[in-house]
Each structure stands twice: as structure tokens, then as C-alpha cells.
A and B are shown apart, each in its own frame.
Chain A
Amino acid sequence: MAFKPWNSNKRKMQLVSLIDMVFILLVFFLVTIFIVREPREEMRLAVPTPENKPGRAQILIQLLPSDEFFMIDESAMPVVESVFRDVENRFGYLSVQNLQQKKKEVVFRVLTERFTYPAEQLSHKIQQLLNKANRSPNEKYFVLIRCPDEVPYARVIEVIEKLSQAQYNNVIYGCVGGSLEEIRNCKQIRIVTEIDEKGIKRDNLWITF
């Protein structure tokens, strides 16, 4: 049997496979560099972020842990105005700061007494709003839903589901966390007359935290 003679010159390292692998790694790094670049490019994008402004809405639904909800809309405005007048008449002797505090306390008490409803009435109230929205498709209704930490978020979802049934999709909603206590402890409750860009004058209820 003829064996192949031992040729020491052939026992060299095979660099071809090593070069292949190095090239594959090179390609890998080239590709990943582009992937790394993309998020950096994204970081340079001017993404509009919400401004630190009060939430503006026509209707406020504050969910409460006690199977109740607090809901105010423009119908609260005359109540607040009359309470302010009443407080000014009765406590006019107080300093401006104390008078503001008094107004805030009394308005909060009156509003929570008048506009807090049992949870069973939520559907009815929302249906009333939907009927109103369906009657005027050109109007937009913005609902601010506030949910405290203690209340399961499922209740917010329920409200959203109901609001989504508006025929003309003209009921818009926004959700924030927050409790009724925050409203009670707010800095100020006041009525501000504003003129919008269309020149329409409105009385708005401002609750500043």
C-alpha cells in the first residue's frame, strides 16, 4: 500500500476559513452600527410632548373609591357663581387670601354634594351625554376621566367603552390619575372668562392644583 509521503510544508494554517469568519463578523458589525445609529437619529427628532397645562375639558368624571363618581360640566358654572356671590356677601370681611380659601371650601362642598352620584347612574349620565353629542355632530365633547390609585382601572375602561359609542365619534376622552382629595386640596377654584381664537366668550371653571 502506497502511503502519501509526509510533507511538512502542507501543514500550514488554513487562513481561508478564518478570513471568511472575520468577514462575516465585519458584516455583522457594519449592520449593527446602522441599528445603533437609528435610535440616535430618533433621539434628535422633535417629538411634541404635552405641555404643563391644566387639562381642559367640558366634562369631568372623577371616579371615587366608594362606588360613586363625581361629574361636573357647564351646569356647575351657575352653582359656582352663586356660591361665590353668597360667600362674598357673607364673608366679605375676610382678607383676600382667606376669602379665596373660604370660597374654595364652600364650592367644593356644594359641588360634591350636588354632583356626586352612585355608580349605577354612570351609564345613564354617559347616555345623556351621548344623546347630546349625537344631536349635534359638529360639536366636540371632551371628557376628562380621573381615576385614583385605589379604583381598579377596569372602571375607567368601562367609561371609555361607553363613551366610544358616540355615533359621530365626537366624544373625546382623556384619562389622568388623581383623587377627589386633590381637588379638595387644590390651590384655587375660580371662574375665568376667556375669549377663544374664534372670539367666543366663555366662563370657565379653573381648578388649580
Chain B
Amino acid sequence: MNLNYAQQKKSSYLQWFIGGGVTLAIISVLVIRTLMMQGLPYDEMFLSSYALVDSLEIPPRPGIAGIIITGPKIEPVYFKIDVQRAGLRKLDWDEIVAWDRTADVKIRATITDDGSLVFDEVTDVYCPGHTSAGRIIASVVKTWAYTPYKTGTIRFWFNVASTGQKLTIDVRGLKRKPGIPGKIDVFNGLLYYIDGLSRRDVNSNGIVRF
């Protein structure tokens, strides 16, 4: 009876000891964990120990490697009839048709540095059989002036009788002026100053042979 009591008492102590030990161990783990976390920033609180081995590379921010200051837009320029020039005269296609409905006039001209159109009415105007139409057309064309972006030879072919392209302008002899920086694009704009002629009747890159 006494022995049984002693055994039971011993077993009871053992149970208390094991239970208390487990509890204390868990509490100790929690306390240690809490203490370890106290000094850490929030981001690092949950990082596992192996993660600390890796180092994060801070990406360089824009502006550290260099600076780019965006400049102004480089606008293209247009080689075209300069309507601001004084003395510019407009050709009326209907009038030409009224004068000579079969007129066939070719003009070879030079565009100077300032954009003026220069030609000799004797040597540079080719109009066999249509002299009066040639003279009238040449007198108007002579007043034309262009924006000063290209120089060289320009040829016109006024083919009044044509049902297709009534005006052909050969611009292959034109070159951009040397003073214009290469980064500026020079485009061709309106190369004629004529009323009563639609755009589809004009070929501005055609070949004109005398």
C-alpha cells in the first residue's frame, strides 16, 4: 500500500516535471525569438538566416550615370514657292488653255542661293510652235521664287494638251544648300504657283528632257 502510494507520487512528480519542462521550453523559445526580433527592422524580421547571406544590390537611379538635357525639336524645312516674296505672279491654267490649248512649253531654270529662279528666255525656254504661250508662261515663271534651302537646276514641262500630267517638274538637278546642317530635313513642298491645276495633274519628280 505504501509502496503503491510512493510510486504514484513519483509518477505524478514526473508528469509535472515533463509538462512544466515542455511549457518552459516553449516559453523560452518565444521569449528568445521576441528578444531577437526587437532590434531588427520590420523588413528583416521574417528573413530566414540563409537569406542574410545574399546581399541586395541597390539599383543605380537615373541621373547618376549621366544627364540628358532634351533639346528643342528640329523642325524640317520645306523647299517650296516663297509666297512672301514681292513681285510673285500666279499662272492661270485656264488662261493658258484659252491662249493655246495644245501648248507644249519646257523651261530650264537655275535656282540661286537666295531662292530666285533665273533663266534665259532664248536658250532655256523650249516651245516649238507655241512661241506666244511660251513667252507668257516664261514671263510668269520668271517671277517665281523659292525658299532658300536648295540650289541647282529645275526643269518645267507645261503640257497643256495632256489628259494626264499637265505639268512635270524635274527636281533631280537640285541639291540642298551646303550651309544647312545635315540634321535638318529638307522636303519638297509646293513647287508651282498656278491656279486651276490640281495636284494630281502635276508630277514633281518627273524627268524633263529638252
> Does residue B36 face the partner (Cβ distance < 8 Å to A)?
no
Q: Judge whether A60 and B65 touch: CB under 8 Å.
A: no
How far apart sit A174 and B46, CA to CA, in the bound complex (Å)? Answer: 33
Q: How does the 8 Å CB contact mask read for B69-80 relative to A, with 1 for contact and 0 for none?
A: 111111000000
Q: How does the 8 Å CB contact mask read for A63-99 relative to B, with 1 for contact and 0 for none?
A: 0000000001110110000000000000000000000
CB proximity of B48 to chain A, nearest CB, Å: 8
- Chain B residues in 8 Å Cβ range of A204: 68-71
Q: Judge whether B67 and A54 touch: CB under 8 Å.
A: yes
> Does residue A146 face the partner (Cβ distance < 8 Å to B)?
yes
Segment of A9-17, A119-127, A130-138, A154-162 in the binding face: A9-17
Segment of B56-64, B101-109, B121-129, B155-163 in the binding face: B56-64
- Chain B residues in 8 Å Cβ range of A206: 66-68
- Chain A residues in 8 Å Cβ range of B69: 57-60, 72-74, 76-77, 204-205, 207
How far apart sit A22 and B22, CA to CA, in the bound complex (Å)? Answer: 10
Interface of A is mostly: mixed
Question: Which A residues from 103 to 128 make CB contacts under 8 A with B?
Answer: none
Q: Judge whether A56 and B68 touch: CB under 8 Å.
A: yes
Q: Judge whether A176 and B74 touch: CB under 8 Å.
A: no
B→A interface (CB under 8 Å): 5, 8-9, 12, 15-16, 19, 22-23, 26, 30, 43, 46-47, 59-74, 183, 185
16 contacts across the A-B interface (CB closer than 8 A): A8-B8, A11-B8, A13-B12, A13-B16, A22-B26, A52-B65, A54-B65, A58-B70, A77-B72, A178-B64, A191-B71, A193-B183, A203-B74, A205-B68, A206-B67, A209-B64
